Amino acid sequence: MKFERDLEILEQLQEFNKEKHFGLNSGICNLDKIVRFDKKRFNIVTSNENQGKTTFINYYCYMMAKSHGFKTLYLSFENDKMLFYSKLQRVYQGNDFVQYSRYLEFNEFRNIDDMFIAFDFYLENWHYDILVIDPFESLQIYMQGNYKSEDYASVLERIRQYTKAKDIITILSAHQKKLSNVNDEPTIANIFGSVSFGNKADNIISVKQIKEGVTQVKALKVRHNLLEGVKGRSAYFSFNPSNERFAPITEAQANDYTFEDFVLQAQEKQAIGNHTTKDDKTLENENKAYLNETKVSLYDNFKYTKDVSLSDALILGLSHKKQIDNCRFLKSQGRENEYREEKRKLPSFTIQCTFSGDRNKDNMTSYNNVIVVDIDHIQDVEKAKESIKKLPFVLYCAKSVGGCGLFALVRVGGTIQDFKAYWMALKEDFANIGLQIDENCKDLSRLRFVSYDTEPYINYQAQVYKKKKITIPSNHYQVPQTNKNLSNDSVMADLKNIMEDVQQNHLQLSKNHSDTLYLANVLSSLMGEEGRKYLHIIRAQRENYDPIKTDCLYDYSMAHNTTKYSMAALRHKYNQAKETAFN
């Protein structure tokens, strides 16, 4: 076990505090004030019968798709598949739901294990962010007659652990027990099936229709109270049955207005196109400040000159319009060599990072929490721009120098270590709308030549992008097995000696994800589950050690590795690390 020193703890805390840990805003402004779900959170939505909890969950998932590009996998027991998709089509007001929604049919499984296998299949192949199980009590069909409270508690715990390990949001719909008075308030203690809901779930909200067209959502439990919401508070909504959407209202409006009032208000709002909310205004201020205050490094003839604001850099191309128009003419004529030569005469700038000179790691002065996306060789630039405008996280989009490509800016969360994971997720989201982004965008130090667009797209309400995709690479090499047979005692003694040396001298057997996966395969082959703790020891010697990600990697190896290894494979990596440490 690694002993943490005082300074190390404070450094880790400083890194932790760089990010906000307030949960994810859904874009439903009054709901965000009482509870904000986040990745690794197990959430329960409860209500009496026919109160609209499934409809509210559908609307929430639609808003998370709109705000964060999140995908949702639905396991639904109460809806026909096509009827369910029809409902989503109304919520999305079109066919965009297909990009963000998948319906899992419950009759495909024999038991709980089969259900989790299906969850894994969709996670690996479709990469969803939200898992919805609706309703919980229907899981009885998989529980083979084991309906005691502790049986339900076991299933809840398994769902909770799965949520954290897979870095997803899970929403479980659960009915209340039968009540003598249907107007009674939903409570945690009255959720059907188990007394364990209260301690297993991170957040629990209730949904109640207090009159026709008026819904109350109440935070019954907030695990991180005052940080990700406020326990006991309520949010109120009007409901429009024509599109199955909810609109925020105040408690006073909920008490005074009639259903007809809400319908009229919705029609007027749609007529004038007034969709601005207080949250939109906050985002607008933040994004304007980001564009004006973020510095980028300007280069002339590929030599660093100075730092300027991002907003100034984006309009700098207007001062070079004649040169850019010439570039576009040469490009249109297929005169590529001349185009490239003319393009290189333009000033350029780095957006993703700033530098104090040459663009190398030693000269890097700041990381700007932004990804620049390039889409080249587009047949219809304006059509592609219209598609990009539908992505809620794109802050800026404009034509590139040649005029037949686009570039877009997306603000991202996290730290510089998260850049590639964000980039991989963005690549997938753009592919979903039929656009292939340039692989060279992964280069943090990449230069962008000044350009101009007479109609650039600026979305001041753009959300910060927080979706990540962690790729687990396949092995690039294998150490051949030896024919020497070692006893289990010999293997354990050898392994113990290696691990003691690794910990004492902080030897780095793993330098990247590929190394870590390779070592996970070696250890799972040699020792099965017992090898997990040794992978943690190895991975802890390198920076940015994440126990949860390490566990996920070992889980993956246990499920997929079929190669047999000997101790020679581990010793080979150990000897490499020793040589590096002493050279």
Rg (CA), the chain: 27
Q: Are 197 and 188 in contact (CB under 8 A)?
A: yes
530 CB neighbour count, 10 Å cutoff: 12
- Residues of the chain scoring pLDDT < 50: 259, 262-264, 266-278, 471-487
Transcribe 237-299 into DSSP letters. Answer: EEEETTTTEEEEE-HHHHHH--HHHHHHHHHHHHHHT----HHHHHHHHHHHHHHHH-EEEEE
Alpha carbons 63 and 25: distance in angstroms, whole number: 9
Residues 143, 201, 150, CA angle at the centre, nearest 5°?
35
Alpha carbons 427 and 127: distance in angstroms, whole number: 13
Q: What is the pLDDT of residue 270?
A: 45
Structure tokens at 511: 């330098």
| Strand-pair category, 169-175 with 214-222 | unpaired
Residues of the chain with CATH 3.40.50.300: 29-207
Transcribe 135-195 into DSSP letters. Answer: -GGGGGGGTTT--SHHHHHHHHHHHHHHHHHTT-EEEEEEEBPP-SSTTSPP-STTBTT-T
Q: Are 273 and 327 in contact (CB under 8 A)?
A: no
Give the amino acid at 51. Answer: Q
Q: What is the pLDDT of residue 583?
A: 54
| Strand-pair category, 447-449 with 348-350 | antiparallel
Alpha carbons 154 and 159: distance in angstroms, whole number: 9
Q: Are 91 and 121 in contact (CB under 8 A)?
A: no
pTM > 0.85: yes or no = no
Nearest-CA neighbor of 41 among 165, 166, 161, 170? 170
Alpha carbons 491 and 385: distance in angstroms, whole number: 60
* Chain Cα centroid distance, residue 111: 29
Q: What is the pLDDT of residue 257?
A: 57
Alpha carbons 412 and 395: distance in angstroms, whole number: 11
DSSP letter at 528 equals G
Architecture of the CATH domain 29-207: 3-Layer(aba) Sandwich (3.40)
Alpha carbons 8 and 491: distance in angstroms, whole number: 33
| Strand-pair category, 295-300 with 303-309 | antiparallel
Alpha carbons 85 and 75: distance in angstroms, whole number: 13
Dihedral angle sign, alpha carbons of residues 35, 38, 44, 50? positive
Q: Are 216 and 236 in contact (CB under 8 A)?
A: yes
